[in-house]
């Protein structure tokens, strides 16, 4: 027997019995136009024209009952809009983490036959709304694929441009550099814990805002290019937790990253009420919670941190690892194959 709650009953018509063309005819108008693409949806491939001759590309997948549940233990139902928004947000954040700006998305949508058509339409609306709402004005959905399967799976690939700048990699942090974060920490993890708790939740107020941070993250898309222009030496998207992702910079750069617990308290304090409700330490969410899709970057000594970045630690010589006030940390965060 599955450990997950039963799928909510379909509302309205389902995709069962519809042709691919019929479903596409309902979805494509919801995605907006193809923007700067020379050829958008409708052919075997989109045609792009990168302005500076280089192309960033990344891909992410959301799988039902692994990355999201259609129904949570507390009765909350995840909408297609939520999943569409999250798919766009996590992909846009990957381009942001390289110091670039997104230019296009292609989306593959796998649907069980009993999926409500309205869910698929809402997914398209969520994709389009995230692109607009997060400020990715140069990006559009330019194509994709539809398929049938046992679970809902949303896979999106994103392209981006560096506008002539070199990419900011994970491997450039050096001793003496400053560690800084843009965006939020721990809020999406707190929202997930509240959704999984099983008790009813308020849709508004502080609790509702934390749940929204999990369902519809807000990556700071202006921060990536700003960090690149300010001389960031290394950078990545905080998707799997601050400690786990900091460890990736430490490994790639061959350095030790030391986090300052006093600096991290500013992220923990707004989570204290939710943490008290669940009996946990809010700092655990800050250190181990991902999916806020903020940025962790290192900057050379004397560099002026761009607006939106806050110093949270330092880069030190030594064995590649992450420490907290110079004390070794237990590796925390999300691993797709360990849950």
Task: State the CB neighbour count (10 A cutoff) for residue 156.
Answer: 24
- Separation between Cα atoms, residue 158 and residue 95, nearest integer Å: 8
Q: What CA dihedral angle connects 176, 180, 186 and 188, to 10 degrees?
A: -130
Q: In what order do the strands lie in the sheet with 321-324?
A: 234-238, 294-299, 178-182, 309-316, 256-259, 321-324, 327-328
Residue with tokens 């692994």: 66
pLDDT of 43: 57
- Separation between Cα atoms, residue 243 and residue 91, nearest integer Å: 21
Per-run averaged pLDDT (10 residues), the chain, 339 residues: 39 75 77 66 63 84 95 88 98 95 95 94 96 95 93 96 91 97 97 89 82 96 97 96 94 96 97 95 95 97 96 96 82 49
pLDDT of 76: 86
215 touches 291 (CB < 8 A): no
- Separation between Cα atoms, residue 238 and residue 230, nearest integer Å: 19
- Is the domain 20-161 a CATH 3.30.465.10 member? no
Q: Where are the domains of the chain?
A: 20-161, 178-328
166 touches 95 (CB < 8 A): no
CATH classification number, 178-328, choose in 3.40.390.10, 3.90.650.10, 1.10.10.10, 1.10.3210.10 = 3.90.650.10
């Amino acid at each position: 027997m599955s450990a997950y709650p039963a799928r909510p009953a379909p509302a309205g018509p389902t995709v069962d019995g519809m042709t691919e063309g019929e479903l596409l005819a309902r979805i494509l108008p919801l995605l907006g136009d193809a923007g700067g693409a020379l050829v958008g949806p409708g052919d075997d491939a989109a045609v792009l024209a990168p302005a500076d001759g280089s192309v960033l590309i990344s891909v992410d997948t959301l799988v039902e009952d692994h990355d999201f549940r259609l129904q949570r233990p507390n009765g909350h139902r995840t909408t297609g809009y939520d999943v569409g928004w999250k798919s766009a947000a996590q992909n846009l954040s990957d381009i942001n983490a390289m110091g670039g700006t997104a230019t296009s998305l292609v989306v593959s949508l796998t649907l069980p036959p009993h999926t409500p058509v309205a869910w698929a339409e809402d997914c398209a609306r969520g994709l389009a709304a995230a692109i607009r709402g997060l400020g990715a004005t140069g990006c559009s959905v330019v194509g994709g694929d539809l398929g049938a399967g046992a679970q809902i799976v949303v896979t999106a690939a994103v392209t981006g441009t560096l506008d002539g700048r070199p990419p900011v990699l994970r491997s450039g942090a050096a001793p003496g550099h400053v560690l800084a974060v843009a965006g939020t920490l721990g809020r999406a993890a707190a929202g997930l814990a509240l959704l999984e708790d099983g008790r009813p939740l308020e849709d508004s107020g502080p609790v509702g805002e934390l749940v929204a941070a999990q369902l519809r993250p807000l990556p700071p898309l202006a921060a990536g290019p700003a960090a690149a222009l300010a001389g960031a030496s290394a950078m990545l998207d905080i998707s799997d937790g601050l400690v786990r992702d900091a460890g990736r910079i430490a490994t790639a750069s061959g350095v030790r990253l030391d986090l300052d617990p006093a600096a991290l308290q500013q992220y923990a304090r707004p989570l204290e009420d939710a943490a008290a409700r669940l009996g946990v330490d809010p700092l655990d969410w800050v250190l181990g919670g991902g999916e806020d899709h903020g940025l962790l970057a290192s900057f050379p000594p004397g560099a002026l941190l761009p607006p939106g970045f806050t110093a949270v630690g330092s880069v030190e010589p030594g064995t590649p690892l992450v420490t907290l006030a110079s004390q070794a940390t237990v590796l925390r965060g999300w691993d797709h194959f360990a849950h």
